[in-house]
């Protein structure tokens, strides 16, 4: 192999590593986002199940969404950063629906009337389910709101974004790309 | 024609009047355990959109100590199914009211009690003892207050070099005061879980969080500590707006303080959260230096004391509400209600429709 400048080798090595990692590691994003009010953690361990009722009492099972990439957004109406990111999450949902992305919002421990009232003021284009007793948040280790779990097309959680994020920016695009890969990995 | 407009004169005049009131040099905060003050609080609950049977739970003054004496609780309600109960485990007292379907649930609770300020005399050392089981209880983790992992790591780092329990508590008090109002790494809301607070650097949670963090850190290094959940009553006698309540409207004035058990001093008052509150909110700017003249007297006095313009409801964690279908409460200092729709959001008093007022009674 001809001698190349070390920086070129580093770049190509890094690209190869990223391709190889292919969504397995989100560590590359973590420090870059430290100043922006959110962090990204890789998912460790198994993906919990999720089966919760929507506002009309109809159950929604995460497993039934396999084939789509899912952003599982845990939120509460009293949480100002949750409310602040809703518009960009909503626009993302509309824009990327055709690509196979679904946003599923999980409300934390609020009553049906409270959530209904919020949705009347702020209609959302994606489904909302209710975690009435907080058990789902506990299963998914969510302790900060908003938290958005990034789930790939095979139904596997790959990472979680903690804190308010701009879902229409480049950083969000970079996080979504590995989820939306049509090539699914075992 | 005057060189100044009327508006400029008015602005200059009001600035001159305001200046002495915000003079940093004259701030004083020195609560002392003097005379007992008598108060009466009135909590009125009207449940909106009551569907089916409704239950309401209200905290009662349960702390009986050298700084507070509960006197009497009375109530009126649109139901006869009202009782006062005390938790057999820890004496936490509450009012429990049940309303049948078809009635509009209304309950009004009046509690009378006496309080006084606290100021620990650090020169006075006495071998203090408390029941070993009691102390074990105040070292144990609770649902929102784990004491392992990042909690223990943070506590150990902050107390490095500290020998006595007093030294450890001082180190943790100072750590909380200097760290808890820094800019969060993560813009989000916690639910009071102190591990999440430390991991995200977001230490301004929903309620009662800063002192819960202080208590968790103390427990993690072996100092028994507890939160004391209560509500502010009237303005501070020392002119600190952030350290008092508006007696005409106390919903939202709930505040949790803390206590630590020290081997040579017994249970001692602590409130680092209120130091942080003064730093963040008392003046127009966020004061980052705890030695600032506005902050320093508060920082000194809340280490070992607090002002008696506050009611202590209880020190309970993981509270079971009798007859509730919802789960345990991490803490109980807000009115709670449940009906067939589930539990009402205690932090939205307009939905839930409750008011809390106080008045001071003549000695």
Instruction: Please state the ipTM of this predicted complex.
Output: 0.72
Task: Give the span between the Cα atoms of B270 and B257, in whole angstroms.
Answer: 7
B49 touching A (Cβ < 8 Å): yes
Give the distance from residue A36's alpha carbon to the nearest chain B alpha carbon, in angstroms. 8
CATH 2.60.40.2250 fits B37-115+318-361, yes or no: yes
Residue B242 reports pLDDT greater than 70:
yes
From residue B357, alpha-carbon distances to B41, B63, B127, B247 in Å are 6, 20, 40, 5
Residues of chain B contacting residue A81, judged by C-beta atoms under 8 Å apart: 187-189
Residue A3 lies in a domain: no
With cut-offs at 50, 70 and 90, classify the pLDDT of residue B197: confident
Nearest to A144 among B49, B200, B351 (CB): B200
CATH 3.20.20.70 holds for B118-233+251-307: no
Q: Which residue among A34, A110, A145 sits closest to B185, beta carbon to beta carbon?
A: A34
Give the percent of chain B with pLDDT over 90: 62
User: Best mutation site among B188, B195, B334, B351 for testing chain A: the one with the most A CBs within 10 Å?
Assistant: B188
Q: Is A79 a member of any domain?
A: yes
CA distance B175 to B233: 28
The reply to whether A145 falls in a domain is yes
Identify which of A37, A84, A113 has the shortest CB distance to residue B341.
A113
pLDDT value for B204? 59
- Rounded distance between C-alpha atoms, residue B335 and residue B43, angstroms: 9
Q: How far apart are the first and last CA of chain A?
A: 34
- Residue A13 Cα, gap to closest chain B Cα (Å): 31
Span B261-278, pLDDT tens digits: 999 999 999 999 999 989
Higher-confidence residue of B131 and B56: namely B56
Within chain B, all domains assigned CATH 3.10.620.30 are found at 118-233+251-307
SS3 B285: coil
Predicted pLDDT at A117: 87
- Pick the more confident residue, A78 or B31: B31
Inform me whether the pLDDT recorded for B120 exceeds 80. Answer: yes
Number of domains in chain A: 1
Nearest to B119 by CA among B302, B363, B361, B305: B305
Q: Given B186, B190, B341, which is nearest A112 (Cβ)?
A: B341
Put simply, the answer to whether B188 touches A144 (Cβ < 8 Å) is yes
* Domain assignment present for A8: no
Q: What is the CATH number of the domain that holds A171?
A: 3.40.30.10
What are the pLDDT digits (tens) for A7-47?
444 444 454 444 444 444 454 444 445 457 899 999 999 99
Count residue pairs from A and B with Cβ separation < 8 A.
74
* B193 close to A (CB below 8 A): yes
B182: confidence class by pLDDT, cuts 50, 70, 90: low
* Angstroms from B222 CA to nearest CA on chain A: 25
Domain of residue A72, residue span: 24-180
pLDDT confidence of A4, banded at 50, 70, 90? very low
């Amino acid at each position: 192999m001809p001698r190349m400048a070390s920086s070129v080798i580093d770049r190509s090595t890094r690209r190869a590593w990223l391709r190889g990692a292919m969504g397995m590691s989100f560590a590359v994003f973590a420090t870059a986002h430290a100043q922006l009010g959110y962090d990204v953690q890789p998912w460790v361990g198994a993906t919990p199940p999720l089966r919760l009722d929507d506002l009309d009492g109809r159950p929604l099972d995460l497993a039934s969404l396999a084939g789509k990439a899912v952003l599982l957004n845990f939120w509460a109406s009293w949480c100002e950063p949750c409310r602040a990111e809703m518009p960009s999450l909503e626009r993302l949902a509309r824009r990327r629906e055709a690509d196979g992305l679904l946003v599923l919002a999980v409300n934390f421990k609020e009553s049906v009337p409270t959530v209904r009232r919020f949705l009347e003021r702020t209609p959302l284009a994606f489904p909302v389910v209710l975690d009435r007793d907080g058990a789902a948040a506990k299963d998914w280790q969510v302790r900060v709101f908003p938290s958005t779990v990034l789930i790939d097309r095979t139904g596997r959680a790959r990472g979680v974004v903690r804190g308010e994020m701009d879902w229409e920016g480049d950083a969000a695009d970079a996080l979504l790309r590995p989820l939306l890969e049509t090539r699914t990995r075992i | 024609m005057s060189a100044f407009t009327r508006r400029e004169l008015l602005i200059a005049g009001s600035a001159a009047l305001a200046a002495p009131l915000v003079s940093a040099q004259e701030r004083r905060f020195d609560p002392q355990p003097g005379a007992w003050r008598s108060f009466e609080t009135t909590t009125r609950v009207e449940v909106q959109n009551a569907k089916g049977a409704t239950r309401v739970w209200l905290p009662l003054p349960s702390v009986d100590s050298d700084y507070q004496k509960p006197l009497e609780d009375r109530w009126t309600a649109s139901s006869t199914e009202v009782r006062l109960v005390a938790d057999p485990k820890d004496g936490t007292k509450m009012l429990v009211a049940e309303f049948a379907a078809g009635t509009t649930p209304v309950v009004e609770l009046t509690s009378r009690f006496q309080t006084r300020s606290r100021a620990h005399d650090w020169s006075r050392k006495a071998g203090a003892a408390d029941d070993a089981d009691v102390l074990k209880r105040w070292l144990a983790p609770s649902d929102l207050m784990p004491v392992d992992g990042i909690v223990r790591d943070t506590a150990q780092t902050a107390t490095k070099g500290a020998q006595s329990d007093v030294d450890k508590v001082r180190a943790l008090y100072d750590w909380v005061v200097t760290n808890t109002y820094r800019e969060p790494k993560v813009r989000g809301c916690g639910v009071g879980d102190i591990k999440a607070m430390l991991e995200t650097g977001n230490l301004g949670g929903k309620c009662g969080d800063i002192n819960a963090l202080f208590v968790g850190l103390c427990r993690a290094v072996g100092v028994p500590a507890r939160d004391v959940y209560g509500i502010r009553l009237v303005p501070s006698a020392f002119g600190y707006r952030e350290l008092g309540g508006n007696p005409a409207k106390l919903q939202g004035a709930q505040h949790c303080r803390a206590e630590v058990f020290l081997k040579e001093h017994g249970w001692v008052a602590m409130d680092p959260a209120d130091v942080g509150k003064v730093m963040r909110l008392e003046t127009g700017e966020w004061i980052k230096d705890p030695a600032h003249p506005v902050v320093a007297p508060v920082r000194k006095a809340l280490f070992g004391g607090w002002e008696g313009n506050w009611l202590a409801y209880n020190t309970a964690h993981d509270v079971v509400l009798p007859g509730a279908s919802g789960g345990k409460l991490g803490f109980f200092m807000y009115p709670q209600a449940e009906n067939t729709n589930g539990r009402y959001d205690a932090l939205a008093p307009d939905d839930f429709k409750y008011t809390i007022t106080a008045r001071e009674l003549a000695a």
